[in-house]
Structure formats: structure tokens, C-alpha cells
């Protein structure tokens, strides 16, 4: 163990597998952590008959553990059916990494959170679930407010939501133009691949 990290963690940090964006992904997800400001974007390519994840990749903006856990989760889901991927949990990933320092457990949770969001979005894309307030807030929690370093839901940037079918009306209170320039594009990115219309009102 180096700095409390297993050999597997250090190996994936130095030589991450599946790193980088994926042009032919059909679902993506963004997750952010208030614990340390880490960010993760996951890309999945899913094929039908049977419904299976055939390729996964990630972009990570964070520490050693964030990079290693992001790399590991993409390796764990490749070749899995959707139902199999849904069963992957925090402990499965920590065990696969040979352990993590407790102070870095949130990184494994972040990777699993990104997977959960991606699979939920896939359900919407496939018409198997509706866009509701719970999912919308979960997606928005993946976006960090640069003013407070909290996600935009917890920070109070998101004031209200109204959902009518595929129309999402989001009311935001943004503190500065600089924050606005980061948050608005991030919202569009967070909902990419989903057939929804987003109407943002600033209050």
C-alpha cells in the first residue's frame, strides 16, 4: 500500500483503462462529489438483443482514487447486461480495487452514482421510465456550483422544477456571470442523449 492505496489503485491511476470520451456512446452521466469537488463523466455504449453494455469509458477530474475508481467501474460493467450492471455496488468496486482508504470511499460511491444515473437515463431513452422530479434532481446533483463547491441542488441554485412530459422547466438563482457560464452548459451536457426540452428561468 502506497499512501494507503493498494497496488491495483496505483496501477489504474498511472495507467487508467477506458479513459477518454466515447464518440459513439448512446448514454452518458455526470456525477460530482461535494466531499472534494471530484467530477466524473461516464460514457456507455449499449446494444440490444440482449441488452448489454459493450463499451464503457470515462473522463475524470479529480484525485488518485477518483481516477482509479472511474477506471475500475468501466471495466466492471463492460460485457454486463443492464440488470447485471444494476447490481454492482460500492462494496463490489472497493473489493475489486483491493481496498480504499476510508477517507476516499466517496470516490467509489461517485463512480457507482454515475453508473446509476446512466442506467436511469437509459431507461428514459428506451421509453421504459418517465422523466420525473427524482431523476431530474439526481442528474442536476452531478453539477457543481463554482461559488459554493456544492452541487447546484444542495447549494440552492435550483429553486424549482416543473415537469410536463418531456419538458423540464428549471428555475435557477445563479450568483454571478462566471458561475452562469459554467452551470448552463453543464446542464445541457448532463441531459445529453435524452429526448427532453429544457426551459431555464433565472430568478
Distance CA 172, CA 195 (A): 21
Q: Report d(CA 170, CA 11) in Å as an integer.
A: 42
Residue written as grid cell 481496498: 99
Give the active site residues: 36, 107
DSSP state of 38: -
Cell of 121: 437515463
- Helix, strand or coil, per DSSP, at residue 115: helix
For Cα atoms 77, 81, 89, give the angle at the middle one, nearest 5 degrees.
Answer: 50
Distance, in Å, from the CA atom of 28 to the CA atom of 190, rounded to the nearest integer, reads 8
Amino acid at each position: 500500500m502506497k499512501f494507503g492505496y493498494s497496488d491495483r489503485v496505483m496501477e489504474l491511476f498511472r495507467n487508467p483503462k477506458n479513459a477518454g470520451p466515447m464518440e459513439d456512446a448512446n448514454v452518458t452521466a455526470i456525477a460530482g462529489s461535494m466531499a472534494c469537488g471530484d467530477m466524473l463523466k461516464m460514457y456507455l455504449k449499449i446494444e440490444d438483443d440482449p441488452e448489454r453494455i459493450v463499451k464503457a469509458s470515462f473522463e475524470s477530474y479529480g484525485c488518485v482514487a477518483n481516477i482509479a475508481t472511474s477506471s475500475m467501474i468501466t471495466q466492471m460493467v463492460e460485457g454486463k447486461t443492464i440488470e447485471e450492471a444494476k447490481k454492482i455496488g460500492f462494496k463490489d468496486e472497493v473489493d475489486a480495487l483491493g481496498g480504499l482508504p476510508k477517507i476516499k470511499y466517496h470516490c467509489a460511491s461517485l463512480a457507482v452514482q454515475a453508473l446509476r444515473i446512466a442506467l436511469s437515463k437509459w431507461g428514459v431513452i428506451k421509453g421504459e421510465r418517465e422523466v420525473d422530479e427524482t431523476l431530474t434532481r439526481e442528474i442536476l446533483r452531478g453539477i457543481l456550483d463554482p461559488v459554493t463547491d456544492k452541487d447546484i441542488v444542495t447549494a440552492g441554485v435550483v429553486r424549482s422544477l416543473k415537469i410536463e412530459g418531456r419538458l423540464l422547466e428549471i428555475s435557477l438563482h445563479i450568483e454571478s456571470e462566471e458561475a452562469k457560464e459554467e452551470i448552463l452548459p453543464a446542464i445541457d451536457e448532463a441531459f445529453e442523449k435524452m429526448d427532453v426540452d429544457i426551459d431555464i428561468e433565472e430568478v
